[in-house]
Amino acid sequence: MESIVLGKTHRTPGVNFDANTGILELSGRSIPENALAFYQPLLDWIDEYQQAADHKIINAIFRLEYFNTSSSKCLLDLLRKLETVHQEGIQVNVQWYYDTRDEDMEEAGKDFQDLIETDFELIPLP
Amino acid sequence: MQEKPNTTYQQTLLDFEEELTPEALDAILEKIEVMLISIEPVLKIRKRIFCILVEALQNVFNYLRIENVEDKRLRIVTCLLEKSEKGYTIKVGNYLLFSKVEQLREQIERVNRYSKERLRETYLATLAKNELDEQGGAGLGILDLIRKSGQKLRYRFRKINEDISHFLIQITIIAN
């Protein structure tokens, strides 16, 4: 199975979904008008990853600056998929990093934390 | 795009009126972001202004796509960003079908009455249940604008003819 590595753009986040380590990282901004077109391949990748029998852990790392509401729905879909993966036996850890000066991004992390049931850590960046 | 900088109490930072194409939207957002770095030192406020502008303009953009509006005159969007001692005011205006007016008015009036807690609950409930529509919208736009700004939305509808109205939304961001 191949990893997904995408650079950051003005509209879309950097992606590093590493098939070897199970580290899934999103960083930067996510403000495309049609977020689903961007996120669908990432959702499909997690399905494929789950079916690979030798992977037993996922560390999902979010280092987002900001995102639009279209992306917020896709981020929740992604987190729910991780929740399902967790319920089916794979260890999943979610780390949500936020700038301590940015209470909106902290609040967004709390929103997602309240909506999913898996290990979800909010980590302030000084 | 026109800019009308001045140094009075109410400073207009951005003032444009043009057809909202994907290219125009990209150019507008890029220009706004560069400008905000130079005028607003507080990260939280700067990001809030940018996020609200993105959401407001993309709401219009998605509406135009969903309704398949091809008449260039009806794709004209206006956007104004002003700075005052209290903070910032954003005004975004666009044309919309008269048949959409009441539904939008009711939605804004309803959400404007919500407390901060109810706003969050409603936002999360909407986020949790809504599917993205085919254009990528999640039905969260108005909720997000009020939640991010922390202020009630002000708005105005102006009837153009039997079929078309003009919608102007005003969002205030307190910066003190």
| Contacting residues of B for A66, CB less than 8 Å apart | 47, 50-51
Contact at 8 Å (CB) between B29 and B53? yes
Distance CA B90, CA B64 (A): 20
- Return all residues near B155 (Cβ < 8 A) that are at least 6 apart: B105, B108, B167, B168, B169, B170
Q: Verify whether the Cβ–Cβ distance A69 to B141 is below 8 Å.
A: yes
Question: How far is Cα B42 from Cα B48, in angstroms, rounded to an integer?
Answer: 10
Residues B59, B61, B63, B67: what is their CA dihedral angle, to the nearest 10 degrees? -170
CA pseudo-torsion sign A96, A99, A100, A106: negative
pLDDT in tens, B90-141: 999 999 999 999 999 999 999 999 999 999 999 999 999 866 554 444 468 8
Establish if B132 touches chain A: CB-CB under 8 angstroms: yes
Q: For the domain bounded by B11-101+149-174, which CATH number is listed? A: 3.30.565.10
Q: Residues in chain B, how many?
A: 176
pLDDT at B163 over 60: yes
Q: Is the four-CA dihedral B59, B65, B66, B67 of positive or negative sign?
A: positive
Give the SS3 label for residue B60.
helix
Q: Which residues of A are less than 8 Å from B135 in CB distance?
A: 33-34
B120 touches chain A (CB under 8 A): yes
- Residue A24 contacts residue A7 (beta carbons within 8 Å): no
pLDDT in tens, B140-154: 889 999 999 999 999
Q: Which residues in chain B touch residue A74, judged by CB atoms under 8 angstroms apart?
A: 132
Cβ separation A111–B120 shorter than 8 A: yes
Helices (H) and strands (E) in chain B, counts: 5, 5
Contacts of residue B29, Cβ cutoff 8 Å, sequence gap at least 6 = A10, A31, B50, B53, B54, B57
A70/B137 CB distance under 8 A: yes
A72 and chain B in contact, CB less than 8 A:
yes
Task: Closest CB to A101: pick one of B43, B132, B141.
Answer: B43
Domains, chain A, ordered by start: 20-125 (3.30.750)
| Domain ranges for chain B | 11-101+149-174
Whole-number pLDDT of residue A55: 66
Please give the pLDDT value at position B135. 42
Q: Give yes or no for B136 touching A (CB within 8 A).
A: yes
Rounded average pLDDT over A74-83 = 96
CB of B48 less than 8 A from some CB of A: yes
Q: Is the pLDDT of residue B19 over 60?
A: yes
**Closest CA–CA distance from residue B106 to any residue of chain A (Å):** 21
As for the ipTM of the complex, it is 0.91
What residue has token string 């009630």? B152
Asked if B55 lies within 8 A of A101 by C-beta distance, the reply is: no
Question: Are A73 and B132 within 8 A, CB to CB?
Answer: yes
B58 part of contact set with chain A, CB < 8 Å: yes
Query: Are the CB atoms for A33 and B61 separated by under 8 Å?
Result: yes
